[in-house]
Amino acid sequence: MDVAASSLSPRRVTRQISVGSVKVGGGAPISVQSMTTTKTADVEGTLQQVYALAAAGADIVRCTCNDQGAAEGLVQIVPRSPVPIVADIHFHVEMALAALDAGVQGLRLNPGNLRKPEEIKLVASEARDRGVPIRIGVNAGSLHPTIYERFGGATPEALVESARVELAYFEEVGFSDVKISVKASSVATMIAAYRLASETFDHPLHLGVTEAGPLPGGLVKGTAGIATLLAEGIGDTLRYSLTADPVEEARAGRQLLEVLGLRERRGLDLIACPSCGRAEVDVIAVATEAQRALAELQIPIQVAVMGCVVNGPGEARHADLGIAAGKHRGHLFIRGQIVRVVPEDEMVAALVEEASRIAVEGVSARLAARDASAEAEAEADRAALLDDRGLDVNRAADRIDAIRRRRESGAVG
């Protein structure tokens, strides 16, 4: 297990369901979901977006099923999709039944919109007979009026009660292939609701801050809520609800799981210092260029871009590969060991070349092939910088001596 994951609270034990080929809950890897923004009746346009989402890290994709054209579109989309398709249902029971006929691998029902008990139980019965799971998707913005009034608003207790009522209808017809979400646009409400849900249900939970908004604020809100719960061991699937290209949702979800150590890294993890007065290059520009160039390689590698050769290689010694800037030169290092010194204008190209070689040959082979003179060159650069800037810029010896003399003299103030 990743060190980051081992530092989190243990995962909450839940039932396991299957959304097509994707296992959810019961110890399965936490899955990433997103939703298409195309008209589902536009089969080719929707499939293009589904493939883009899958490439960005989505394990499951939801498509709206709000009319006959959408239902018919799903008939063609489902068998051609690289990931399981969930149909999003709001007000019409007919659309839920049509989506099941289309062969979707899951449904999402909003208890605040589809309210008639007999219709809810009909859909659950049909899903049960077909082995199709349902997500009870409670939303703070569309609670059933009775529950809203009873609890005095969209409180965490109200959200969980909405899910409990819906689940009771399902249980009446013997249907338990369920996951639950209790989303709110308020991060604090969302966190409290999911904590309560985790104590109330043993079904898998789908995490999300609904209507989080555009970037960057939406990303901050989504991460604040989702990451908090994941760190507590709560959550089996997740979605960032961003006012942005849905590919950004899938990418953010996947990256969050990777940085928490909850999914294996499959792409670039670029770390970079925030820059400071010691930096010898424009760290922001170099890091941005490196991010763009290395991401295209699609290699699961951690790369560091550091602005200072004095501390950079040591601070980023855990990185698979990195570069630290000296005076018009870059020190290329692998796991903290200098392997090459390159001109400043070749820093990004050197990173790309070395990353490609590591992917093929491995870290050990690339360390064995390092330039024998690189460490000496790098040490000379570090020494020159220390001479230029002064090893003791704070005059430590003088200050320590002054402190000692004051103490010995007994002077105060």
Tell me the pLDDT of the chain (413 aa) as tens digits. 465 666 799 999 999 999 999 999 999 999 999 999 999 999 999 999 999 999 999 999 999 999 999 999 999 999 999 999 999 998 899 999 999 999 999 999 999 888 899 999 999 999 999 999 999 999 999 999 999 999 999 999 999 999 999 999 999 999 999 999 999 999 999 999 999 999 999 999 999 999 999 999 999 999 999 999 999 999 999 999 999 999 999 999 999 999 999 999 888 899 888 766 666 678 888 899 999 999 888 899 999 998 877 777 777 888 999 998 877 889 999 999 999 999 989 999 999 999 999 999 999 999 999 999 998 988 888 787 776 655 444 455 677 777 878 777 776 55
The pLDDT value recorded for residue 391 is 46
| Cβ atoms of 35 and 238 closer than 8 Å | no
Amino acid at 79: P
The pLDDT value recorded for residue 279 is 64
The pLDDT tens digits of the residues spanning 358-393 come to 999 999 999 999 999 998 988 888 787 776 655 444
**CB neighbour burial string for 8-41, b if at least 16 within 10 angstroms, e if fewer:** beebbebbebbbbebbbbeebebbbbbbbebbbb
Amino acid at 367: L
| Cβ atoms of 25 and 18 closer than 8 Å | no
Phi, psi of 282 (to 5 degrees): -80, 95
Helical (H) or strand (E) element with 62 = strand 60-64
For 269-389, CATH number out of 3.90.1150.10, 3.30.413.10, 3.50.50.60, 4.10.640.10 equals: 3.30.413.10
Question: Which residues are CB-neighbours of 258 under 8 A, at least 6 positions away?
Answer: 264, 265, 266, 267, 269
The pLDDT value recorded for residue 3 is 55
Q: Domain coordinates of the chain in residue numbers?
A: 3-259, 269-389
User: How many helices (H) and strands (E) are present in the chain, helices listed first?
Assistant: 16, 15
The pLDDT value recorded for residue 4 is 61
Q: At what angle do helices 68-80 and 93-102 cross, to 10 degrees?
A: 30
The pLDDT value recorded for residue 328 is 80
Q: For the residues of 223-260, what is the DSSP string, one character each?
A: HHHHHHHHHTT--SEE---BSS-HHHHHHHHHHHHHHT
Helix, strand, coil fractions of the chain, as percent rounded to 5: 45, 20, 35
Q: Is the pTM of this model over 0.75?
A: yes
CA 384, CA 382: separation in Å to the nearest integer?
5
CA 99, CA 87: separation in Å to the nearest integer?
6
CA 150, CA 152: separation in Å to the nearest integer?
6
Residue 212 vs residues 88, 205, 220, 223, 243: alpha-carbon distances, Å: 19, 19, 9, 10, 7
Phi, psi of 286 (to 5 degrees): -65, -45
CATH homologous superfamily of domain 3-259?
A: Dihydropteroate synthase-like (3.20.20.20)
